[in-house]
Structures are given as C-alpha cells and as structure tokens.
Structure 1
Amino acid sequence: MYKSYYSLAYEPFSKGLKVTDSFASHSYQEALSGLDYLKRTKGIGLIIGEPGAGKTFTLRTFKESLNPSLYQVIYFPLSTGGVMDFYRGLAYGLGEEPKFRKVDLFRQIQDGIERLYRERKITPVFILDEMHMAKDAFLQDLAILFNFQMDSTNPFILVLAGLPHLRARLSLNQNRPL
C-alpha cells in the first residue's frame, strides 16, 4: 500500500536490496572510498557505524566490486567465539582442514595466506563483522596472526566492522598494536 502511495519500485531498507538500488549518501561513498584505498594498499581497515547504518551492506557492496580472479573474500561474523574458533573459521575460509593445536593453526593460516598471495596471485580479503562483541584475546591475536615477515608486508586485506564502541576498545593499550 505505501509503495504505491510513494511510487516506490521496491521496499526501502530491505535486506535483499541490490547494490545498484542503494542510495549513495556521503558516508556510504566515503566508506567505499576507504575500502577502495584499502584494496589498493592492502592491510587493515575499520568500518564503524551505528546499528542499521549500512555497515554490512557497504561490505557486501565492496565484496561484489572485487574481481574473484584476484580476491578471495572470507566473511566471518562469529566474533563471540574463542580464539581457536576464530582460527578454525579462518582456516575453513581459506579452504583448509583446520589443524588441532593453536600453533599449527597459526602456521596453517599464515601459510594459506602466503600461498594464495604469492603462488596463485590472489589477495585474501578477511571481513570480520560484529567485532564490537569480540573478546580481548581475540583482538590481541589478530595483531599477531596478521603479522607477516616481521611486519614488513601485507599479503592480505583485513576489514574489521562493528559498532562505535569498537573504536574505544581498539584504543586500549592491549589492543593498540592492532
């Protein structure tokens, strides 16, 4: 009823909204520009916003803009698990059967990232959503896991997304390396 009254072709703000149907607000364009910069330079980026602001939609737009021959996207929204759950999830995302011990998983993930990047010329893109709920141990391990060749190279793209208080958590001393 309201769609005909307002001459709408589709339901606004529906979860099935296509990228082409999005409203290109200033903050949306700014977020996409930041993600495009991250795509060119590689490394770690942060998307912060209030609930319903369009963080995940923006990340989906970014994912759809990536050439699947050059990028492999691993989307991981399970931030409430432990560090081992996180490691296993990343290993699965890289197409690996997760090892049992943390040290083996760590090496398996780093080797998987290096193999994709160096041998197959594919940049892994890790999108970690809902990170405002992540435990401190999870955040601390991120800085260690994504340290390559004594922190001299970034053979990946890592995007952390969450609510505004994630920024405050990342500014705490124990999370500053991230």
Structure 2
Amino acid sequence: MYKAFFSMKHTPFTNSIPVDSLYMSDAVNESLGRLCYAAENQLFAVVTAEVGCGKTTLIRRLSKSLDPEEYLVLYLSDSQLTPRWFYNGLLQQLGAEGKFYRGDAKLSLHRQLEYMREVKHKKVLTIVDEAHLLKRETLEEIRFMLNYQMDSQNPMALILAGQNELWDKLNLQVYAAVRQRIDLKCNLPFLDRSQTEGYIKAHLVYADGQQDIFTDKAIDEIYKYSSGAFRAVNKVCMHSLLSAAQRNKKLIDEHLIHLVIESELP
C-alpha cells in the first residue's frame, strides 16, 4: 500500500533489488575489486562481516561483475556441508554425476575443473557462504583440494564468506595450515551515518517515486537503531513507510521512527 501512497514503481527496501541498483559502500567497492582479482588469478579469499553488513550484496555484485563467457560461478551454502557433499554439490552444478566415495568425488571434480579450464577456457569461482558454520574436517578438505598438483596452480578460485567468527575460528592454531593458504582477506564494517543516508537515498531512487521522505533527524534515529547494518536499515525503513502511509503522512520524522521502533520492531 505504501508504494501507491509514495508514488513508487518499485519496492525500495527488500533483498530483491536488481544488482545494478544496490548501494555500494566504499568497503563493498574495495572488497569487490579484491575479489575480482582473486577470481582472475584463481586465489583463495575470505570475506567476513557482521550479520546484515553487506556480505550478500557483495556476493551478488561479484557474480554479476564477472563475464559469463570467461567465468563459471558456483555457490554453496549449507551449515552441515561435509567434504563429500562439498565435492558433490560442485559436481552437480557442473552438470556431472555425484560420487558416493569422497576420493572418487574429489577426483571427478578435479577432472571437471581441468575440462572447464583447458577445453571450455573458463575460470571457475566457488563461493561457500555461511562458512563460519563449517566444521574442521570440511575446512581441512578444502585446503587439501587447493594443494592439487603440488601447489603449481589452484584448480579454481575459492571464496569463503561468513560472519566475523569465521576469522576468529581460522585464527586458532588448529587451522594454521588452512590460514596459510589464504591469499586475500576482506572485512565489511557497519555503515557510518553518512553512508546510511546514502543507502536510504539510493534505494528511494530505485523505487522511482517520492524522494524526500525521511527527515535528517529521522535518518539519525534510523542510524542509531540499525548501527549501520544494511538489514536493520531495511527493516526500520520498510516499517516506517508502511506506518506513514497508514497515517497519511508524506514526511517521516524522528517521532514516527521512535514509534515504529518501540511498537513494531524487536
């Protein structure tokens, strides 16, 4: 209902915004450049962020940035990912048959990756999301896989993406061998006040309707509530737009933000 009230053509604060319209903070832009470099040079990278700080935005933008004629992007997200399902999940995305035994699956995957590189002339990028939930056995298996052909060349680019606890885990002594294989590390911080305002305005531009909806003080309160987390900004803005439309208010001030936070949000 608020789309019509504010003359919007698109819904502004959702996860379904097209990649080209996503707000790119300085940190996301910098990380995007580093990850494109990792994909080009078939490196092992780690991306960490607190919940709602743009990790999904970065992954979506990266996938869109890579030329599909040159790259094949594979994506896995499974908190219970075992080594066998790691290999078989990638085999399935490559259009190959999975294998029951881990060793057979690993060998088959290497053959598929070599085929993609030598025959199709494509570089493979694998993104493993929610990697902070991976068990030691799976992380170690990933290291073994990257040791293929005596370190002469990684069989693919690999990005582990997860919450900040992923790096805390990798800093443990038991993961020293895995940590030594990492070529690049990226961390996404919370947005600052100015970036939060930029984020809100960028999404209103995408909505293609009324632009001047939130007062400066309202944005101050949104920033205080969200701490600059993308997901929290989306939540308070969406609820505020809905509440404003119900109250027939074209301008959202700090008082309405307070009301929304106190009565509608956890």
Q: Is TM-score (shorter-chain normalized) higher than 0.5?
A: yes
Secondary structure of the corresponding residue to residue 23 of structure 1: coil
1:36 and 2:33 aligned: no
* Aligned-partner Cα distance in 2 for 1:20–1:7: 22
Count of matched residue positions in the alignment of Structure 1 and Structure 2? 178
1:80 and 2:109 aligned: no
* Shift in Å, 1:5: 8.1
Contact 2:73–2:127 (CA under 8 A) maintained in structure 1: yes
Matches within 5 A, 1:20-169: 20-169=20-169
Contact 2:42–2:125 (CA under 8 A) maintained in structure 1: no
Partner amino acid, structure 2, of 1:37: Y
1:118-151 C-alpha deviation (Å, 9 max, x unpaired): 2211111101000011111111110001222101
* Shift in Å, 1:6: 7.7
Partner amino acid, structure 2, of 1:113: L
* Aligned-partner Cα distance in 1 for 2:173–2:107: 26
* Shift in Å, 1:8: 6.5
* Aligned-partner Cα distance in 2 for 1:166–1:158: 15
Q: Flag the 1:175–1:101 CA change in 2: closer, same or farther, 3 A.
A: same
Q: Flag the 1:30–1:122 CA change in 2: closer, same or farther, 3 A.
A: same
* Aligned-partner Cα distance in 2 for 1:131–1:123: 22
* Greater mean deviation of Cα atoms: 96-105 or 168-177: 168-177
Q: Flag the 1:8–1:174 CA change in 2: closer, same or farther, 3 A.
A: farther
Contact 1:79–1:128 (CA under 8 A) maintained in structure 2: no
Contact 2:110–2:155 (CA under 8 A) maintained in structure 1: no
1:85-136 C-alpha deviation (Å, 9 max, x unpaired): 2221121122210122111111111111111112211111101000011111
Partner amino acid, structure 2, of 1:136: R
Counting aligned pairs with the same residue, the percent is 31
Unaligned runs of 5+ in 2: 179-266
Bigger helix fraction: 2
* Aligned-partner Cα distance in 2 for 1:141–1:155: 14
* Aligned-partner Cα distance in 2 for 1:152–1:139: 20
Contact 2:36–2:66 (CA under 8 A) maintained in structure 1: no
Secondary structure of the corresponding residue to residue 149 of structure 1: helix
* Aligned-partner Cα distance in 2 for 1:150–1:95: 27
* Greater mean deviation of Cα atoms: 135-144 or 149-158: 149-158
Secondary structure of the corresponding residue to residue 127 of structure 1: strand
* Aligned-partner Cα distance in 2 for 1:158–1:107: 18
* Aligned-partner Cα distance in 1 for 2:8–2:169: 41
Q: Which residue of 2 aligns with 1:177?
A: 177
Partner amino acid, structure 2, of 1:71: Y
* Shift in Å, 1:21: 1.4
* Aligned-partner Cα distance in 2 for 1:114–1:79: 28
Computing the radius of gyration from Cα coordinates, the structure with the larger value is 2
1:36-82 C-alpha deviation (Å, 9 max, x unpaired): 22123221111111111111121111111111111111110113232
Q: Flag the 1:5–1:24 CA change in 2: closer, same or farther, 3 A.
A: farther
